[in-house]
Homo-oligomer: A and B are copies of this chain.
Amino acid sequence: MLLHLCTWAEVEAYLKRSTGIIIPIGSTEQHGPNGLIGTDAICAEVFARAVGDAADALVAPTISVGMAQHHLGFPGSMTLRPSTLIAVIGDMVTSLSRHGFDRFFFINGHGGNVATVTAAFSEIYAENSLAPAGHNRPSIRCTLRNWYEAPAAKRLSRELFGGEEGSHATPSEVSVTFHAYPDAVKQAEMSPRVAPNGSFTDAADYRSRFPDGRIGSNPALASAAHGKTIMDAVVPDLVESYRAFLAA
């Protein structure tokens, strides 16, 4: 159930049976030689929609541009500064809380978002914690779940890609996007086959260490079929997480 395809009256009705909402958050950043720039946003979105369908949960629009400053050395990458993303999440959550939503389940597709989104939650909670006694601010609860850390995602990564999963432009995430957008499947030679590992700081540093954009991965292993396998296995994990979150 997509918020964007509802009328306000349908949302009003939904709120009578649930105060939870799923918010997909991704990124717009290079994903190596054959990965799509929208990989993280696409993954977050397709998982969120599938979970929304399975759990009768409302799904908000995807936050497509995340915190990806380190990818700016590659054409097409975009970032919000952490301070901007904190403001965005604050405004979105506050908007929805006005209607009675109080359980915000973010499905995340990008490791680079984790720290900033977590800080954004604290910024929101801090408004309550610093408010004068007797305030009338609603009590809300936010959580961030990385689809690629769901138990099934980790298991399948090992089974399908072994030591070639890596941590950026992984065959798992590329597979999910190939399944979602079969017309956008790309081919590219990987050289070296498996990309180097390591840490990074800013965009120039990242590009010098990871010249084609990948970290530790071999996304030539990706396929739409693997993507379907991953989707089918991971969605139930996320549904269970969502239900547990509502019940907490």
Contacts and interface: CB of A to CB of B under 8 A. Distances in A.
Identical subunits present = 6
Q: How large is the interface on A (under 10, 10 to 19, 20 to 34, 35 or more residues)?
A: 35 or more
A7 B28 contact: no
Contacts of A35: 7
A81 B7 CA distance: 23
A235 interface: no
B82 A119 contact: yes
Interface string A89-100: 011101110111
A125 B77 CA distance: 15
Interface stretch (A48-56, A67-75, A148-156, A159-167): A67-75
Interface of A: 2-9, 11-12, 15, 28, 30-38, 41-42, 60-62, 64-65, 67, 69-70, 72-84, 86-88, 90-92, 94-96, 98-100, 112, 114-116, 118-123, 125-126, 128-130, 132-142, 181, 184, 186, 188, 199, 201-205, 213, 248
